[in-house]
Structure formats: structure tokens, C-alpha cells
Chain A
Amino acid sequence: MPERSTYKTTTARRAPRDEGFVQDEQVILEGVDISGQWNKMYEPREIVDYDLTHLEELTAIPGAESMGWCYQCAQCIPACPVDTAGGDYGPRKIFRRLQTGMDLFDHQDMWLCTSCQNCVRVCPKEVDMVEIMPAARAQAVLDGRNVPGELLEMFQNVAEYGNPMGESARRRTRWTRKAGVDIRLLPKNPGPVDVLWFVGDYYAFHNRGVDAAQAMARVFSRLGVDFGILGVDERTDGDSQRLAGEPGLFEEVAEHNLEQFGKYEFGKIVVSGPHAYNAIKNEYPRVSHGKTGGDTYPVEHYTQFLAQQVDALAPLLSGSFARKVTFHDPCYLGRHNGEYDAPRRLLEAVPGIEFVEMYRCKAQGYCCGGGGGGMWLDGFAAEHQMERLSENRVKEAVEVGAEVLAVCCPYEVSRFEDAVKSTDNDGKLEVLDIIEILDACMEPIGEGVA
């Protein structure tokens, strides 16, 4: 771990020329002419001590210490998607503002970070915004200090209904009715399964997410996957709530989900979303839920699960998808968890597809803006940025000539579809979940299949 830098900052101010700044002095040293502005290293320096109260208040929060390590090299700024979208943002700028008196608890900077991790990738001082911001936000939520209303409403919904939309938990399985295949609801039909599919909120409730959920059920069925879902007993994975500053709520939903996992016999968990993947893989093991330690379950994102079976999958892809397709790496599958290949392997298996990368891809992928609570802060962000991150990304997809923007995160279909409209690219770019593309290339099955 890098040593903590001291906060005392020294600023050198060049003295005006007429205040004794010596120019062009003739100096010969041991026979060598070293005339010039040699003595500018010795010009008068002015020491400025800032009031570091606000910076120190922040770095005293466990998890937020590394904010104080910044040495202003600025490598993080071009990496920050919020800055790129005109948000005047990034750890360097936040540190400097803190140093010069900004109270983060009273400033929009608290809520704009999407926890995309791109700055962490380039920072030589290991200033970790993915740790800092959730810790600082948790303090803000605990103290009730200027938390955006949209976030509080979302927290309230999760606390009351177990999902951010405030939908009735009973409607969590409504999408299954028109999937065209039988879906085993574990609470009604418990018995062992190979795969416990953690469906997620957007697949279960959002109208475009439902399309993807139904596609997934059909693809699993055609592949002969023995799977079941938690149905009405599933709750949100909690990752976004944790990142947005509600660790207690995260623990509550995590405990609930872990309790459900504990009821059934299954080989592995397959998730629809990168946040569920991140939570179950990296965060749930820390949640004790009444025991001494947490539970670790084998978990795979659906693209990983299917990519392993691509040999069995490929012969089922009888249709052709002759379109130019690009792919958006979700931050929490890619940068956070290192998976860049699985989604690409699935797309490459699609017959007729012409795949094209965007400029910012894989480890350098641009963020959709939905992480870290951003999903619920579009209105808030709009007041402080020139454009939405999703709009910036959609423009890039159009620029590389893609007709289809393929995604594999349940947050993204709705985000990018909105951005396609707001950037006047309606009709030029279609947003599809990879699972929808796979499903579209397979023989239709059953009733209700489009």
C-alpha cells in the first residue's frame, strides 16, 4: 500500500520580475558559463496552508482514506467517463476541491461517480473511488445529508418491496407466463437442479428486460439446462444499493437471498446481471447472515455459462443475423471482474454477424452511467453534466458503424434505448441483449414466441 501523503501543501509562487528576480546574470562556474535563469529554483516561495477540515473529515471515514493519497498527476481525468460527459469530474478534481475547502457532503460530486473503476485502473497512487464513494455516501445517508430524493425513493422501495421499482414481489414471476417454455419455480417445486438462475429485477419487471428473460428461458430450454428460479422469493442483489450508500439495506437483501439459496440443492448460480454477479461472487461471502461466516456459491454470468457450452449452442443457431454489431462491456463484468471474452465468444458464434469493436472497449470500456446508483440519478446527473454517459456511448456505437448495440447487463437496454432516442439515432441503432440475439437465431418454440 502506498504511504499516505501529508496534506500540508506547498505552493511555489513565482515572484514578479521587479521583485528581485534575477535574470541573465553572468555566472561562470569553474570556467563554465552557466548564465541564464539558473537561480529561479531559489526564487521566494510562499507556503499556503489550506483549511483541510473537509478533506480530513472525508479521509477519516473507514474506506475513504485513499482520497488523501492523490498527488495530482491527473491521469484519472481523461479516464473518467463523467468528466468526458462534461461533468468536470474525477478524483484529481475532487481531491483538489476538497483541499481548497469543498464540503463533499454539500456538493454534487458526492453522487456523480458511477463506480466504473476506470480511474482506479490508471491511478499510480491507488486512490480507490470504488471504496471511497460508497463509504462517503453511506455516511451521508446515515446522517441524512443532502441525499438525492430519487435515491431515497429507490432505497425505500427496496426496503419495502425488495426491488428498486417498488413493484409487488408477487409479480416477480409474471414474465414467465409468456416465455413459451416451462420454468421451474423452486419455492413450489424444490428438488435439486443444476442451475439456480438468479433472474434479477430488470429482467423480471422492466418491459424490455422481460423480453430478455423470456429469451433466456428459451435458450436454456433448447440447451437442455436443468434450471430453476427463486420466483417471488428473489430480492434485488443489493450491489447498487451498497454502492449508492446503503450498506444496511444491502446486507438485508443479501441475507434474504442467501437464506433462499440455502434452501435448495443446486450446482451453481447463473445470473443475468453483472451487478448480481459481482455481489454474489465478491460481496455475499462477507455477509454472515446470523452465522460466523458468509457463504460462497459458485456463480457465473450467463455469458460465461453459455460460452462454456458454445459447441452445443452453435448447432442450435440455425438462423442468420446478418448485421453489424458492436458490444458494450459492462463495468462490473469487465473491469471489475475481468471477463471480456465470454460475451464476444457468444457473438462470434452468431451466424452472419459482422462484429465491430468500439474505440473504448474491454479494460478501457466506457461506462453506461447506470452503476453506483447512477441508474436512479439520471435527472440529478443531467443538471451537472453536458450529456448522459449512455448518450456518449451510443454516439460511439453509431460512429463505428454499428447497426446493433449488443449488451449483457439488464440495466443497459433501457438506458441505451433512451439514449438512442435522445441523440436522434432512432432507427439507426438497435439495442439488444446478447441473449435476445441468440434466441432470435434459434428455431421458435412453443406459444408466445415472437
Chain B
Amino acid sequence: MKIVVLMKRVPDLVEDLEVDGSGKALATEHLKLTVNEFDDHALEEGLLLKETSGGELTVVALDAADVDKMLFTALAKGADRVLKITGAANVEGNTGLAAVFEEVLSAQEHDLILTGVQAADDRDGQLGPIVAALLDVPCVEVVTQVEVGEPGEGMVTVHKEYSGGVVAELEISLPAVLGIQAARQSPRYAPVSKVRQIQQSATIETLAGAGESSGAAAGGGSGFSVVEMTAPETGAGAQMLAGVDELMAVLEAKGVV
């Protein structure tokens, strides 16, 4: 089975994020990027699948700060190939990004495409569905487990989470796109000595992405534009009460008791 994991780097929320002068985007001066944690889970689920059912796992990522380290880390964890797409840094939103991925995927053998169900900069989780739509293959989101073999050739069984703790078991025919919510186990640790060793010997395959034209190919850009970006307003804050008497006074003042 050919497994492809789509990964991206997102702003690291450990840093204090600042809005730039335009008021429409994050200031990039001190912006630190980190791996999208959901993509990390997608990679883990892919590695577990590969370990149990065999196959080849390829990671595809857009060029970004420290992307090489992320890709070497993926190799150290057990990925077979890593592809870096250059020249597509300015793609617009998920539509543009999905178009770039679609272009790459069309030229790669793929049975199962895994990606994070969402990202710190994409809470809508639209990347997986748009890629699936462009490839005209089925898609399941919020997946927590993938199994091959059960339903037979060309099928996988997936667990999809719904709110309220309901889990559906779905059979899906391949090729397909899955948006991974969480892998069966937390993403494995890649020992630094292994990553450094691989850095010396392995190569990252580079592909030139079509860049902005891809967005156009997918139907003329993402279809939305950012009007304003601001930090959330901080509320008035909590009032600390010293004891039951104060609590009663507040409740009485509010007319609750």
C-alpha cells in the first residue's frame, strides 16, 4: 500500500503571536514555526499502518522554516521518502494549498492519503476534503484509527469520532483521504542521534510547486480574503471571592437567591 502523509508547518503557539502593521496577518519577525500536531498524528497512524500491513510511506510538505528538520525527523521515525515542494509559499488558504498537493499527488502513486484533521491556522479542517474533491476520491474526517485487511482488497476500516463520544466504524474504498484527529498512540520520539545520522545520508526530494497559478486552477483563489486580524478581547477577568458570605452577597445582588 502506498501511504502519503501531507504535512505542514504552522505558527508555534508557545510564542506570543503578534499582528503585523497591515492588521491582516501575523508578524513574521519572531514567528516560530512548528509541525502541525495533527499532521504528526497522521504520520504516526501512517507509520503504525505501515508496520502492521506493509507498504511505503511518503511525506509531502511545503517548503517553510525548518521544514528539512521536520522531514529528516519523519525519515528517522520510519518514513521511506520525503518530498519538499518549493516555490509555493504564497498559495492562498486551503484551496491553494490543496491544489498544490493535488498536483503532486497526481504524479505519485497513492492509495491512502493522510493529513491532520485541522491545524492551528486552519480550525475549519478543510484541507483534506478539498484535496479529496480535487482528486475525486472519498474522504473521512476526524479519524482516530485506520485498519487494513478486514474488508478486503482496496478497502480500509476507519473509526470516525462524533461529539458526545460516539464513534462510527466506516469502510472506505481506496484511494481515499483521511483527516486524522489522533493516532492510536502518541507520536513517537525520534532520537536526535538518529535524525542527525539520517541528515548525513538521506536526501529530501524537491519538487517545484506551481505556486499561485494552482489556486487559479482550483477555481480562482481561495474565495475569501482577510479583512482584519486582532487578538481576542480579554474579558473583565474573574472576581476572587474570599468566602461564602461574599458569594451569598453576589448571588443576592444578582437576584439569584
Contacts and interface: CB of A to CB of B under 8 A. Distances in A.
Contact of A252 (B12, B188, B192): B192
Interface stretch (A19-27, A98-106, A142-150, A315-323): A142-150
Given A168-B14, A168-B16, A248 B195 contact: yes
A170 B30 contact: yes
A248 B14 contact: no
A160 B34 CA distance: 8
A284 to B, nearest CB: 17
A166 B14 CA distance: 8
Given A248-B194, A248-B196, A144 B189 contact: yes
A168 B31 CA distance: 11
Given A147-B189, A149-B186, A161-B14, A142 B194 contact: yes
Contacts of B14: 161, 166-168
A182 B189 CA distance: 41
A159 B192 contact: yes
Contacts of A246: 191-193
A252 B189 contact: no
A160 B37 CA distance: 13
A249 interface: yes
Contacts of B150: none
Contacts of A252: 192, 196
Interface residues of B, number: 16
B15 interface: yes
B193 A248 contact: yes
A152 interface: yes
B188 A248 contact: no
Given A152-B189, A251-B192, 6 more contacts: A142-B194, A159-B192, A168-B32, A170-B15, A248-B193, A249-B193
Most chain A beta-carbon contacts within 10 A, residue among B188, B191, B194: B191
Nearest to A247: B193
Interface in A354-373: none
A75 interface: no
Contacts of B188: 144
Nearest to B15: A168
Contacts of A144: 188-189
Nearest to A142: B191
Contacts of A385: none
Contact of B193 (A142, A152, A161): A142
A141 interface: yes
Q: Which 9 A-B pairs have the closest CB atoms?
A: A248-B193, A248-B192, A249-B192, A152-B189, A168-B15, A168-B14, A142-B191, A141-B191, A252-B192
Interface string B29-41: 0101010000000
Nearest to A159: B192
B9 to A, nearest CB: 12
Which bracket fits the contact residues of A?
20 to 34
Nearest to A144: B188
A67 B188 CA distance: 30
A290 to B, nearest CB: 12
Contacts of B15: 168, 170
Interface in B190-221: 191-196
A155 to B, nearest CB: 6
Contacts of B196: 248, 251-252
Contacts of B192: 155, 159, 246, 248-249, 251-252
A156 interface: yes
A167 B13 CA distance: 11
A106 B12 CA distance: 35
A251 B199 CA distance: 15
Nearest to A161: B14
A170 B196 CA distance: 25
Contacts of B16: 168, 170
14 contacts: A144-B188, A152-B189, A160-B34, A166-B14, A168-B12, A168-B14, A170-B15, A170-B16, A246-B191, A248-B193, A248-B194, A249-B192, A251-B196, A252-B192
Contacts of A155: 189, 192
Interface string A401-426: 00000000000000000000000000
A252 B193 CA distance: 9
A138 B189 CA distance: 13
Interface in B7-37: 12, 14-16, 30, 32, 34
A53 to B, nearest CB: 24
Interface in B153-203: 186, 188-189, 191-196
Contacts of B189: 141, 144, 147, 152, 155-156
B70 to A, nearest CB: 11
Nearest to A152: B189
Contacts of A141: 189, 191
A262 B32 CA distance: 25
Contacts of B195: 248
Contacts of B191: 141-142, 246, 248-249
A322 B14 CA distance: 43
A252 B12 CA distance: 21
Contacts of B12: 168
A385 B79 CA distance: 39
Contacts of A168: 12, 14-16, 32
Contacts of A167: 14
Nearest to A245: B191
Nearest to A156: B189
Contacts of A149: 186
A161 B30 CA distance: 14
B198 to A, nearest CB: 11
Nearest to A155: B189
Interface string B85-118: 0000000000000000000000000000000000
Most chain A beta-carbon contacts within 10 A, residue among B14, B16, B34: B14
Contacts of A160: 34
A232 B191 CA distance: 25
A200 B145 CA distance: 42
Interface in A7-46: none
Contacts of B34: 160
A168 B13 CA distance: 9
A142 B76 CA distance: 10
